[in-house]
């Protein structure tokens, strides 16, 4: 059960968030929302998170309607967040992203690729998979004492509290189902839009950019 101090803090976060968000929207030359910023605070972005302990972050629950006006954003970005939501909750996040973006606005999502995770089990001897297996087992399950793909799969799902890991078709389909068009896949850090280049930082925080590049797929899409 949450402590009284934490519940009061949550109430304060919720109470102050609309004012902070409104101030940002009113003053931003280019309005850019990051969903689930964690420690990766991006300059000139509205950095939102469920637990805004980090200075410069603002409370927002991505599984609920966003406290933002329709057609108010130029960009939405989220890195390694959508997999922490149930599938139906993620659909809310995608619909709200579409609603709050302006026509021509872009969304960019980075998330684990189910195909790459499954390849750890089906192709465990490939060099890229071997490197990923070693990293997971050394970093998160050293007590097992062996490089075991089954443990890697379970770490990918349960060890990080992931609720739904997407494949290419499911993520692209989810974007299209809410109205996005021009769905494109990019490598982490790569974009045709200057505002979206090099903004993924998850690898730096988990200690392995190579591992993040192995497992991560990135999609961009446009609101017509």
pLDDT for the residue 2: 66
pLDDT for the residue 108: 98
Quick one: 126 and 102 in the same domain? no
pLDDT band at residue 137 under the 50/70/90 scheme: very high
Domain count, the chain: 2
Strand partners, 33: 46, 76
pTM: 0.95
Quick one: 103 and 125 in the same domain? no
In this predicted model, what pLDDT tens digit does every residue of 82-130 receive, in sequence order? 999 999 999 999 999 999 999 999 999 999 999 999 999 999 999 999 9
Domain closes at, from 129, 144, 162: 162
Whether 206 has a pLDDT exceeding 90, the answer reads no
Quick one: 102 and 14 in the same domain? yes
Quick one: 143 and 41 in the same domain? no
Quick one: 157 and 182 in the same domain? no
CA gyration radius, the chain: 18
Quick one: 82 and 51 in the same domain? yes
Quick one: 40 and 127 in the same domain? no
Quick one: 98 and 183 in the same domain? yes
Quick one: 62 and 82 in the same domain? yes
In this predicted model, what pLDDT tens digit does every residue of 35-76 receive, in sequence order? 999 889 999 999 999 999 999 999 999 999 999 999 999 999
Quick one: 64 and 125 in the same domain? no
Boundaries of domain holding 148: 114-162
Quick one: 38 and 126 in the same domain? no
CATH code of residue 21: 3.40.50.150
Quick one: 33 and 76 in the same domain? yes
């Amino acid at each position: 059960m949450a402590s009284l101090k934490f519940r009061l803090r949550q109430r304060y976060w919720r109470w102050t968030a609309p004012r902070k968000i409104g101030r940002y929207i009113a003053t931003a030359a280019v309005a850019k929302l990051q969903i689930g910023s964690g420690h990766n605070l991006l300059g000139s972005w509205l950095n939102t998170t469920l637990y805004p302990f980090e200075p410069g972050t603002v409370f927002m629950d991505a599984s609920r309607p966003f406290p933002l006006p329709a057609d108010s954003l130029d960009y939405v970005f989220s890195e390694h967040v959508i997999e922490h939501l149930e599938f139906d909750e993620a659909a809310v996040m995608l619909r709200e992203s579409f609603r709050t973006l302006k026509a021509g606005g872009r969304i960019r999502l980075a998330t684990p690729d189910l195909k790459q995770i499954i390849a750890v089990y089906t192709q465990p001897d490939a060099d890229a998979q071997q490197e990923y297996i070693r990293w997971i087992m050394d970093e998160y399950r050293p007590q097992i004492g062996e490089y075991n793909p089954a443990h890697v799969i379970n770490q990918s799902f349960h060890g990080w509290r992931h609720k739904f890991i997407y494949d290419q078709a499911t993520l692209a389909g989810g974007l299209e189902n809410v109205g996005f068009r021009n769905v494109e896949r990019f490598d982490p850090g790569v974009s045709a839009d200057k505002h979206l280049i090099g903004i993924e930082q998850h690898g730096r925080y988990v200690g392995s950019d190579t591992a993040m590049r192995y497992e991560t797929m990135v999609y961009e899409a446009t609101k017509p």
